[in-house]
Structure 1
Amino acid sequence: MAARNGRTVRDLRRANRTAVLQRLYFDGPLSRFELGPVTGLSSGSVSNVVADLVADGLVEEAGSVDSDGGRPRTLLRVAPGSGHMIGVDVGETRVRVELFDLTLTELARVERPLSPQRYEVEAIVDHIRQGIAEVLDTAGLAPERLLGVGIGVPGIVERTADRGALVHGQTIGWDAVPLEALLRAGSPLPDTVPYFIDNGAKTLGQAEMWFGAGRGARNAVVVLFGSGVGASLVTPDVDQGRAVEWGHLTVRVRGRRCRCGALGCLEAYAGAESLLARWREEGGRVPDGTDEETALTTMLAAAHPAEGAAADPVALAVLEETAEYLGAGLSDLINLFQPERILIGGWAGLALGSRFLPAVRRHAMSYALRHPAGKVTVDLGRLGPDAVTIGAAILPLADFFARGGRRPDPAPEYPVPAWRTALQERTPR
């Protein structure tokens, strides 16, 4: 039965379940009395929805509070063990796989380092498959209990009807890689468990907006500063975030060659890989065989040594130049999108941290237009190195909420009609 606005009774029930689940998730524990005003539902609707959610095992009691002159009110919360998600971060230095309960408490994790500048598809697919199997085994969780697996990847993600999610990662040599189909082949998961694949900067932004420094902002840009750079734009029009290939904005005509093959990209000056390359070119000494994270730590120690030691002027100069390029890049985001907040995350952004941030802020404000610059704050993200993984796990969680806390129905297996069988038999092989 459809309502006047085209919504069915089933749609309304799902929306009511979603409203109650989300408020308990973000603001709980709450009583039934408190749920009415924050969801806009009547007391009868709240009672019915809560009864359904308790019966489904999604909501549980969490103590009680005194009321004004009446009986104590029972508090309700989302049951942590009622659902589980896996988040995967396909980074540029490692693959990280984490298992979470419904409240995003980590239950198990696996990390697999990647060789520098080597992103073999089969190796990464194997890391993901094995990591999923390992975290499930560690937690003793049956695969069919998963709500889904979220995966953050470098590059542009294209969704197709016949091949699933394709990844176009030009900087890592991936051209229309059918990652979803590859993971399905030989997967340790049943077909009923969905994969959600998206850009890593977007999953980072999702995590910071839900649980980190972006909470409460309507317009924000979350920057991923790692080997390269990327960004996620969040506005009222794209409240789930949109990845933007900010790292491939041209900042210098006929400049340094970027990993994507073009000249003068921001990533060729502001990514950790290029930062370290420029330090080496100027005579910086990086121990052989070290990964990028170790090398950046070495550079920071050279630029900001222990008290009494002399700083490396070359390292300081390269870091200051990188801060200026990054600030100039942020000014473009400020002028284009006029965000309330810009948040910097990613392993390199966190490693450079508060010591690097004042210079980035200064340059961003000097290059941006005064009016939007006066309304924006530039800060570090709060969720640390696991932010991409947490954001990846949010992808199946958000889908679960959107369906009112119901798992997707398995596709029905209908018998093949006789007429279709007859046509198939007549088709030339």
Structure 2
Amino acid sequence: MTGERMEPAARAEHGAAPRAEHGAALLAEPADGQRVEHGAGPRAVAIAPSVLREMNQRLLLDQLFADGPATRPQLAKQSGLSLPTVIAALADLENADLVRPAGRSVTAQGRPATRYEANPGAGHVVGVDVGRDRLRVAVADLAGTQLGQLDLRNTARTSAALVERIVEAVAAAARVAEIDPADVTHAVIGSPGVYDSARGRVLYAANLPGWQRVGLAETLGQQLGTSLTVDNDANLAALGEHAYGAGRHSGHFVYAHVDTGVGIGMILDGRLYQGFSGAAGEVGYLPLAPADAAAASEGAGRKRTLGMLEEYLSTAAVVRYAREAGMAGCRTPEGLFASARSGDQRAERVVEQVAGHLARLVASVAAFLDPELIVLGGGIGRHLDLLERPTRAALGRLTPMTPQLVVGALGADAVVRGALATGVQRAREIVFAGRTARAS
């Protein structure tokens, strides 16, 4: 993946600042001390010269990141800004080391003109996918070009050990990317559960021991030495698939992560939907176990840590089904699906059992959200080639709805790709604010 250019993160529509609308008020730089009316009529807003200059600078910087190098006349034409305004804004950006000359090109009039490009090395972002057994870490520059990636075992079994392991992994990934860890502008952590920003803790992450401790995110940010975003792993995977993968051409789809835990990320009308408290998509808690199993479940009134569906559709559940079927040596879902592909009838029966539980999830998602498609990922979900036929059969007994099912295009990298997409946009905002303030 090293060296791959990613699309601008703003297109992921998550965490992006509102982009300046350019119109009449942005066509010229006002004289010092003047205020410009932006808009017309009773809703007109007075914009100070300093704010207008910043809007113009940000507009041009976003344009260079999105469309690549351009001359000053080209930028003026594309942005709607006057050429003098473009010249002034580019000078400010170059002084802040946010843009730089990128060679020269010949104009239609036959004269050479300097081309400018955004400086991708002005900041860096790191994305971390925290799983119970693995840590995936990737580093990108401000253009979204991935510079390095690592996939490491997660040996931590306490929150303190996990923080230490993440910090070590980020430092190692930075070395692979050939940057100083201190040059990381922003980090995005993808984790099971829901981040409670008020208390700095992750809720509903039962598969990560100690990860729900209050103040853990603050501790992690301090040890990383950078600003930090914590988000649900299924949400980030949905953003990754939306920006670069199977959901790229869909504004209304669901990403279903079926692995150690079960969760969904929802892209509705082209935007990530997280619900009132951020817990939308925690479908592992759906009461969708078989009727007899639900009746025999843990006693009424006992607080559950794992969701009912998650007890029947997860890595641990698949291994349990395999052993109950006489496959004592099966230790992972990968082993089960490999056996099914080789024609082991016991494994095939287990696959049908898993598909029955998956069908209940798919039927529920289809009934509530009516998505254009459901993208499946995770250690179980990505085996759609084996699961689709029995899942379709079970769906036929549950619902008349027949949603389109596809396997995710990004595989195990979906979460880190979504983390980078989110982080690149935030890092650009941080770098722009910091460097333009220093340069002014």
Shorter-chain TM range is 0.7 to 0.9
In structure 1, what is the equivalent of residue 168 of structure 2? 130
Correspondent of 1:388 among 407, 415, 425: 415
What SS class does the counterpart of residue 244 from structure 1 fall into? coil
What SS class does the counterpart of residue 170 from structure 1 fall into? coil
In structure 2, what is the equivalent of residue 205 of structure 1? 238
Are 1:93 and 2:133 counterparts?
Answer: yes
Correspondent of 1:255 among 274, 293, 301: 293
Q: List runs of 5+ in structure 2 lacking aligned partners.
A: 1-34, 39-43
* Amino acid corresponding to residue 168 of structure 2 in structure 1: Q
In structure 2, C-alpha distance between the alignment counterparts of 1:17 and 1:102, rounded to whole Å: 16
Correspondent of 1:233 among 266, 270, 283: 266
Give aligned-pair identity as a percent.
27
In structure 2, C-alpha distance between the alignment counterparts of 1:201 and 1:343, rounded to whole Å: 11
Q: 1:314-325 maps to which residues of 2 (within 5 A)?
A: 314-325=346-357
Q: CA deviation at 1:80?
A: 3.0
Correspondent of 1:280 among 299, 307, 323: 323
In structure 2, what is the equivalent of residue 219 of structure 1? 252
| Contact 2:266/2:281 (8 A) holds in 1 | yes
In structure 1, what is the equivalent of residue 432 of structure 2? 405
Q: List runs of 5+ in structure 1 lacking aligned partners.
A: 306-310, 411-429
TM-score, with structure 2 as normaliser: 0.73
More divergent stretch after superposition (42-51 vs 337-346): 42-51
Q: CA deviation at 1:255?
A: 2.6
Are 1:328 and 2:328 counterparts?
Answer: no
Q: CA deviation at 1:51?
A: 4.4
Correspondent of 1:180 among 210, 213, 217: 217
In structure 2, C-alpha distance between the alignment counterparts of 1:405 and 1:178, rounded to whole Å: 29
In structure 2, what is the equivalent of residue 156 of structure 1? 194
Q: CA deviation at 1:304?
A: 0.9
Judged with a 3 Å threshold, the aligned counterparts in structure 2 of structure 1 residues 379 and 285 are, in CA distance, closer, same or farther, namely same
* Amino acid corresponding to residue 196 of structure 2 in structure 1: E
What SS class does the counterpart of residue 302 from structure 1 fall into? helix
Q: 1:284-363 maps to which residues of 2 (within 5 A)?
A: 284-286=327-329, 295-305=332-342, 311-350=343-382, 352-357=383-388, 359-360=390-391
In structure 2, C-alpha distance between the alignment counterparts of 1:334 and 1:29, rounded to whole Å: 44
| Contact 2:124/2:427 (8 A) holds in 1 | no
Are 1:102 and 2:142 counterparts?
Answer: yes
Judged with a 3 Å threshold, the aligned counterparts in structure 2 of structure 1 residues 42 and 227 are, in CA distance, closer, same or farther, namely farther
What SS class does the counterpart of residue 406 from structure 1 fall into? helix
* Amino acid corresponding to residue 329 of structure 1 in structure 2: L
Q: Could you say what the CA RMSD is over the residues aligned between the two structures, in angstroms?
A: 3.7
- For residues 191-244 of structure 1, the C-alpha deviation after alignment (integer angstroms, 9 at most, x for no partner) is xx2011111111212222222222243222222221121111122485476652
Q: CA deviation at 1:314?
A: 2.0
* Amino acid corresponding to residue 217 of structure 1 in structure 2: S
In structure 2, C-alpha distance between the alignment counterparts of 1:62 and 1:108, rounded to whole Å: 24
| Contact 1:201/1:231 (8 A) holds in 2 | yes
In structure 2, what is the equivalent of residue 121 of structure 1? 159
Aligned residues: 385
Judged with a 3 Å threshold, the aligned counterparts in structure 2 of structure 1 residues 244 and 312 are, in CA distance, closer, same or farther, namely same
Q: 1:61-80 maps to which residues of 2 (within 5 A)?
A: 77-80=117-120
* Amino acid corresponding to residue 336 of structure 1 in structure 2: F
In structure 2, C-alpha distance between the alignment counterparts of 1:21 and 1:45, rounded to whole Å: 13
Q: CA deviation at 1:364?
A: 5.3
- For residues 74-123 of structure 1, the C-alpha deviation after alignment (integer angstroms, 9 at most, x for no partner) is 765443322211111111221222222223333334443235xx742122
Judged with a 3 Å threshold, the aligned counterparts in structure 2 of structure 1 residues 237 and 297 are, in CA distance, closer, same or farther, namely closer
| Contact 2:139/2:146 (8 A) holds in 1 | yes
Judged with a 3 Å threshold, the aligned counterparts in structure 2 of structure 1 residues 301 and 176 are, in CA distance, closer, same or farther, namely same
Q: 1:10-25 maps to which residues of 2 (within 5 A)?
A: 12-25=52-65
| Contact 2:96/2:436 (8 A) holds in 1 | no
* Amino acid corresponding to residue 418 of structure 2 in structure 1: G
Correspondent of 2:124 among 79, 84, 104: 84
